[in-house]
Structure 1
Amino acid sequence: MAYVVAATVPIVLLELMIDDRTVRLIPLMILLPAFPAVVGTVRQTVYAVGWVLIVITAVLMYRPLPSSYDVGIVMVLAFVLGVLCVVSCHWRIRRERELLRVRSTAVALQRQMLRPLPILTDRVMVDGVYLPVEADRLVGGDVYEAVASPYGTRLLFGDVQGKGLPAIGAAFAVLSAFREAALREPTLTALVDHLEQAVVRHNAFTQQTGEPERFVTALILGIDTSTETQAVNCGHPPLYLLKAGPAAPVQLGDPGVPLGLADLSAKPRTVAWFPFPPGTTLLSCSDGVTEARSVTGAFYPLEERLGAWADTSPWEIAGRLTEDLSRHTAGNYHDDITALVVRRTD
């Protein structure tokens, strides 16, 4: 209301100062209620409409328009636009309340799907950040999990194709299958086969409802008493081993096809091994990080940044990464941002 009143003063003063009666500024007042309709409440918008009608009436009584017909047009327009502003403000607030309810539902859904970080098992600690690209949807396509099993700690980093509730359904199917099979399957390949079947079953179900099939890029790790760690890469971005000096991706060989697409490949998924001794740290990033671009189209220099942060605490790297990524992209994210730090503790 203060802005509406402040905007009224120069319009009225100029209206009274201009001697030419063919130049009238007071009709501009009918646009002022649009501002509280966009940012204010319904009551504030009604007050603004009432204020505008009172000011226009007072000015036109003091300095009338050339004809009563023109006065009628101005007053009718002021009233009609005022009503439209009140109605639009009502619908805006109603939509904001609906988005708030959706956000609250998303918070509950996130607590059921993704465990809060950090996650601690008997062999590793997982920490990091997760930033969905849509502020009103706290759960996106990126998923993660760590399970302490009889065969060691099993880790899952994944990204479901697409966005929205259908993608969340596929993510929930993968997470549920992983939590079950990680405790039961003795080998990593058998665990991955179980995840493949879960995605295939989910796609078969969603086809009945008219939803398109989806695939899931995933990276599954198995960490036991050995200093060598097992990994099966199903089309996921590579890991980075954080150490002094230049950072480089962990070499896992050619990645396999994403989960849900095994029938399209003649080659079975295989297990790769890489050194991950106690006290070392791994970084897993989603393609929202590796494929992020600046306003000029330059990719984010992830390896260069990680090399410069060699002396940084592992638990600060994920935070630094997201802050630097925000500066690089000017806050214009096109995909969910996930950066997870895995510290081996045994």
Structure 2
Amino acid sequence: MFRSLRAAPGAAGRADGEDDTSIHTPPTRAVVLVTLSATAVTIVLGALTGTAVLLLGLLVFLPAFASALCTPRQTALVSAWVSVVVVVPVALSGEALADRVVLALFALGFGALAVYGSWLRITREGALVSLRSTAAAMQRQILRPLPLLTDDVLVDGVYEPVQQDKLVGGDIYDVAATPWGTRVLIGDVQGKGLAAIGMAIDVVGAFREAAHREPTVTALVDSLEAAVVRHNGYAEQGGEQERFVTAVVVGVDTGSEAQLVTCGHIPPYLLHDGDVTAVGAGTEHAPLGLADLVAEPRTVSWFPFPEGATLLLCTDGLTEARSPAGTFYPLEAQLAGRVDITAGRLTDSLVSDVHAFTEGAQQDDLAVLALRRSPHRISGTGASASLGTTPA
């Protein structure tokens, strides 16, 4: 069994605790205060310059600002106030009749347009909020909140889609606690948009089903391959583009070694005793969906995964992040200074560092997972059925 240690609603893991489920507007008290302040400033300036009537005309544009920030009711309140403040003094002034009529019509017309503009904005924002709520619910079904704790490992991480308004991108991950140990998936679907998300849903669904059915990691990967091929078959029938998926599947049980199959994806990094090692480098296989193009079957690689070690999995949103000068993010060099910190701090610090490196210009979806073996789970060291505390 596994469980989530922290489940932020509307976000996958620490991916983004921002869940826009309401439209943000200023309080009415603040709207009234700003409106009265603007009116007072205009009157004072008019008295000092002797052009009070002309300056009052500037208040005509105040409802336009209100429509961009306020509710229709608040905008109507501002428009009514401006109409009274502008129309009454102008009507009583000694200006030419035509000028007074034009200014009064401007005040009334601008006020009506401002209220309509506010209503239109609120309607569109409401539709966007509804869409984001649906996307957030879909994301919770696709990507489990992190961190996750199984009997074998703690999995922590960060997920950030490049298009924050869509919440779900082409990067995927999942964790399954099975009778054969913990299986972990991280992957990257070719392309962007809804079609890529559809492929992501199929691959994650296939992983969740096959991880509990297949006793070997290679058989699990074969099931993912079949899911991608099936999806591409349906896509071809519908005239859509076929896609492949790069992925890494890791198997961790009570043995001192872990299993790895890399399918065209970035090899993981093992951090232990001050060293950083690329795991499985040189043993990569074809991405999911392209197995028919090569003759060699996919095989599993074994690597030492001792207690206290951390295994870092990521997508190319991290390794291919570039600075404004075009330099790629030096992941391995950055890992060298982070070998002895917890899984959560490791992923958080890497993501913060890459944001500083790129100066906030995120170029691709970003997923980073850190696996840390649960203590006393290696055979012969007193394995326990479950853990109640987070490993250090």
TM-score range, shorter chain: 0.7 to 0.9
TM-score (norm 1): 0.87
The residue number in structure 1 matching 2:117 is 88
- Are the counterparts in 2 of residues 4 and 33 from structure 1 also a CA contact under 8 Å? no
- Report the secondary structure of 1:88's partner residue: helix
Aligned 8 A contact 2:155 2:343 in 1: no
Partner of 2:97: 68
Match of 1:127 among 153, 156, 167: 156
Partner of 2:314: 285
CA contact (8 A) 1:231 1:252 kept: no
Seen in structure 2, the aligned counterparts of structure 1 residues 233 and 41 have a Cα distance that, compared at 3 Å, is: same
Displacement of 1:13 in angstroms is 3.5
Deviation at 1:157, TM superposition (A): 0.7
Is this contact kept in 2: 1:102–1:136, CA < 8 A?
Answer: no
User: For residue 389 of structure 2, what is the aligned residue in structure 1?
Assistant: none
2:213 is equivalent to residue 170 of structure 1? no
1:186-197 aligned within 5 A: 186-197=215-226
Alignment of 1:166-315 (within 5 A): 166-245=195-274, 247-253=276-282, 255-265=284-294, 268-315=297-344
How far apart are the structure 1 equivalents of 2:193 and 2:352? 25
Q: Quote the residue 1:340 is aligned against.
A: 369
Matches within 5 A, 1:111-126: 111-126=140-155
Question: Of 346, 359, 366, which aligns to 1:317?
Answer: 346
Change (3 A) 1:248 1:5: farther
Cα RMSD of the aligned pairs, angstroms, is 2.8
1:49 Cα offset (Å): 1.0
2:262–2:280 contact (8 Å) kept in structure 1: no
Instruction: State the number of aligned residues.
Output: 344
Cα distance change on mapping 1:133 and 1:275 into 2, 3 Å: same
Partner letter of residue 125 of structure 1? Answer: L
Q: Equivalent residue of 1:288, what SS?
A: helix
* SS of equivalent to 1:214: coil
The more displaced of 312-321 and 244-253 is 244-253
SS of 1:247's partner is strand
Cα deviation, residue 153, structure 1: 2.8
- Distance in 2 (CA, whole Å) between partners of 1:78 and 1:207 is 58
Give SS of 1:335's match. Answer: coil
C-alpha distance in structure 2 between counterparts of 1:261 and 1:84, whole Å: 57
CA distance in 2, matches of 1:31, 1:316: 50
Deviation at 1:136, TM superposition (A): 3.6
Worse-matched range after superposition: 123-132 or 223-232: 223-232
Match of 1:38 among 64, 68, 78: 68
5+ residue gaps, structure 1, are none
Residue 46 of structure 1, CA deviation: 0.6
Name the amino acid aligned to 2:151. D
* Structure 2 partner of 1:55: 85
Structure 1 residue aligned with 2:35: 4
State the SS of the aligned residue for 1:32. Answer: helix
SS in structure 1 at match of 2:336: helix
Distance in 1 between residues matched to 2:43 and 2:92, nearest whole Å: 11
Amino acid at match of 1:229: A
Q: How many Å separate the matches in 2 of 1:249 and 1:272?
A: 13
* Change over 3 Å in CA distance of 1:180–1:12 after alignment to 2: same
| Deviation sequence 1:185-233 (CA, Å, 0-9, x none) | 3443332222112112112223444443332221112334543333221
For the residues of structure 2 that align with 1:195 and 1:271, how far apart are their CA atoms? 15
TM-score (norm 2): 0.77
Deviation sequence 1:146-175 (CA, Å, 0-9, x none):
223344332211122334433222111101
Q: Deviations over 1:26-57 (max 9, x none)?
A: 43322211222112111111111112211221
Distance 1:60 1:246, change over 3 A: farther
Distance (Å, rounded) in 2 between the aligned partners of 1:91 and 1:162: 34
